[in-house]
Amino acid sequence: MADTANHLDFGGVADGAAQIDGERRKVFEAGMQQLGATAPDAGAALLELFRTLPAAMMSAQAAERDRLVALYGADDARVRRAEQSLAGLQQSEMVAARARVRATRALEQLRAPGSAFWGFVNDAAGNPLPGMAVQLVSRDRGGPYAVATTATDGFFRIPLPGAAGAPAPAPPPAFGGPGANAGGTAFTVQFLDANRTLVFEDLVPLVVGSGGAYREYQLGHYLCSAKSRSVGA
């Protein structure tokens, strides 16, 4: 009886997560369409500004620290404050650099032909996980549809049915489970390490229609899980 109750609760959670994923996708796709209509070149120019401005600020702060050291010595309180300010700028730049990577990848998707499932895979601290295999598995047939390997920044991209470079044969029919859209195709998203070990499987189905899809994953907990299992090549 308890197992049945747990199953029902889990089904509700999965259904709710699928609905949230669908709403998030609508908002994201609307933003991408607006960005695409306002010239990607403008976005590239803005990203370049956000690369050079933090570098200039850190360079100026480092020069100020060196000036204070020359005047008052390395142990002076003013030097310590300058060093703390510089460290804060450097920490902020690390976070901003990750954001720029994602923005750059988003601009690439605007220029890329066809629709795709794309995103990033990170560890628990938000650091990119390169070399992870991201696999789409047919919800209807239970077999792999396509796989991609994450880049050094954790980025992956899989062309979706009907897109240029999408794998053959034709994708499975629509899946009618939680979160499914009329006319959509549903996949399970799996993540495998270099040893072909399944380290995580997204329980929320990826339902795609005529557009693309974006997700970002943090897998730190699952990479250490004893529940990982090997799958065939």
Q: What is the mean predicted confidence (pLDDT) over 139-144?
A: 70
228 with 190: CB under 8 angstroms? Answer: no
The whole model's pTM is what? 0.64
Give the 3-state secondary structure of residue 96.
helix
Q: What is the mean predicted confidence (pLDDT) over 160-173?
A: 52
Confidence of residue 196 (pLDDT cuts 50, 70, 90): confident
Question: 119-141, pLDDT tens digit by residue?
Answer: 999 988 888 999 999 999 987 76
179 with 13: CB under 8 angstroms? Answer: no
Query: Which residues are paired to 134 by β-bridges?
Result: 148, 191
Alpha carbons 46 and 183: distance in angstroms, whole number: 38
Q: What is the pLDDT of residue 42?
A: 63
Q: What is the mean predicted confidence (pLDDT) over 56-76?
A: 93
Compare 206 and 184 and report the one with higher pLDDT: 206
Give the 3-state secondary structure of residue 119.
strand
The Cα angle at residue 188 between residues 186 and 191, in degrees rounded to 5: 150
